[in-house]
């Protein structure tokens, strides 16, 4: 992780969420979407746009009401994974649905879910396990749509470390992480699923300096780096790594990124969010069929405020697109079985109370097309 930070759940997050709620409590036309989201799954923005035009509020020549405002907080600074949002903004997909969307970057790593829970932003880009763990701390948030439907988090092992070829060989070696309990649980699961003894792991807190910790040899491995960012940056620094997906070693497959909102926001602004998700689906369809053009939109947007590395972002988007593919399911679909699997795993790792129903962390896909 570099100086622009990311966090992905755990004890510090939950404390921040709960405290944030306590502090903020004191201060605090319809689009069907079916054709649009079907076109998004197939990567057909033209069909999606036609569907949107047919279903947008009002008819040709008819005056439209003032656009509905919607604030979305990103999980991190803008990068390739957010290309669909900037494409939707640039190409008028939000405007087509009478929406004025403000995309905000978090000032702190836990801002997105904390501010969504407090109703200070409408939607947060966050992580599926994080939503469950927040609900376990009595924070009333729900996921409304998946964005990246598979893990991006990786166990990264220095390729020049002799003898380390799989998780069970890590006990006795030094593994860096950012003291996030979720990552500790993932690592131990991977080692145990591979037949190793997790009690022999030597985890050291390197904060978010995962890249220098591994590149300099301070650690033999790190967990918490993303395949579409840290792994690419390490490769650019000529630090060869063995990259292992937690889902290949006992951790349930989960959605790395989801849109989440407070239950109150869902109750009050469900139709606005429905229109937003339809526009997001159209944006993703555009990215699927025009990846370089979509990336150019993102790079242009960020060229002054926070210039991105085009080489890294191109490689990142190429890795992301298969992980953002919903196949035969509607764009954004996140089924109950996914919630049950990751929820039961979190319970087994003592990261989620036993009385929490994991399925209640999702919105039953009611805001996306069936």
Domains of the chain, CATH where assigned: 11-150+255-361 (3.40.190.10), 153-248 (3.40.190.10)
What are the Cα distances from residue 185, in Å, to 37, 189, 246, 250? Answer: 35, 6, 10, 11
Reported as a single tens digit per residue, the pLDDT across 23-63 is 344 333 323 333 333 444 444 544 444 444 444 444 343 34
Give percent of the chain above pLDDT 90.
76
Dihedral sign of CA atoms 339, 345, 346, 352 in order? positive
CA-wise closest residue to 187 among 173, 203, 206, 211: 203
DSSP 323-367: HT--TTSPTT---HHHHHHHHHHHHHTTSS-TT--GGGGB-TTTT
User: Where residue 222 falls among pLDDT bands split at 50, 70, 90?
Assistant: very high
Burial (0-12, 13-18, 19+ Cβ within 10 Å), 333: buried
Report the C-alpha gap between 264 and 127 in whole angstroms: 20
Looking at residues 275-287, what average pLDDT do you find? 98
Joined tokens for residue 106: 């978090």
Tally the C-alpha atoms within 13 A of residue 156's C-alpha that lie toward its C-beta: 31
Burial (0-12, 13-18, 19+ Cβ within 10 Å), 263: middle
What's residue 161's pLDDT?
59
Report the C-alpha gap between 349 and 53 in whole angstroms: 48
Q: Confirm if 182 and 208 have CB atoms less than 8 A apart.
A: no
DSSP H/E element including 103: strand 99-104
DSSP letter for 221, please.
E
Q: What is the pTM of this model?
A: 0.84
């Amino acid at each position: 992780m570099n100086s622009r930070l990311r966090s992905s759940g755990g004890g510090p997050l939950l404390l921040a969420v709960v405290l944030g709620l306590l502090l903020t409590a004191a201060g605090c036309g319809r689009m069907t979407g079916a054709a649009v989201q079907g076109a998004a799954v197939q990567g057909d923005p033209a069909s999606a746009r036609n569907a949107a035009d047919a279903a947008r509020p009002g008819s040709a020549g008819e005056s439209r009401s003032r656009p509905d405002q919607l604030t979305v907080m990103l999980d991190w600074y803008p990068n390739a994974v957010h290309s669909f949002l900037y494409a939707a903004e640039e190409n008028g997909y939000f405007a087509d649905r009478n929406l004025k969307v403000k995309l905000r970057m978090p000032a702190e790593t836990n801002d997105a879910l904390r501010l969504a829970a407090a109703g200070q932003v409408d939607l947060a880009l966050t992580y599926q396990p994080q939503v469950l763990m927040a609900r376990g701390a009595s924070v009333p948030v729900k996921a409304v749509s998946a964005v990246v439907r598979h893990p991006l988090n990786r166990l990264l092992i220095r390729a020049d470390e002799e003898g380390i070829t799989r998780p069970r060989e890590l006990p006795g070696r030094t593994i860096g992480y950012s003291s996030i309990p979720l990552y500790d649980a993932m690592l131990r699961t991977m080692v145990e699923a591979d037949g190793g003894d997790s009690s022999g792991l030597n985890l050291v807190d390197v904060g978010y300096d995962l890249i220098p910790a591994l590149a300099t040899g301070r650690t033999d491995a790190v967990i918490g780096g993303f395949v579409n960012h840290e792994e690419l940056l390490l490769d650019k620094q000529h630090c060869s790594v063995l990259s292992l997906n937690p889902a290949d070693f006992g951790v349930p497959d989960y959605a790395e990124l989801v849109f989440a909102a407070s239950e109150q926001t869902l109750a009050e602004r469900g139709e606005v969010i429905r229109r937003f998700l339809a526009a997001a689906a159209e944006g993703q369809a555009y990215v699927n069929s025009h990846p370089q053009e979509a990336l150019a939109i993102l790079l242009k947007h960020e060229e002054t405020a926070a210039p991105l590395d085009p080489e890294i972002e191109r490689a990142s988007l190429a890795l992301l697109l298969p992980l953002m593919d919903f196949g035969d399911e509607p764009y954004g679909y996140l089924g109950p079985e996914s919630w049950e699997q990751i929820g039961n795993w979190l319970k087994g790792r003592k990261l989620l109370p036993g009385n929490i129903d994991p399925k209640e962390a999702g919105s039953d896909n009611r805001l996306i097309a069936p």
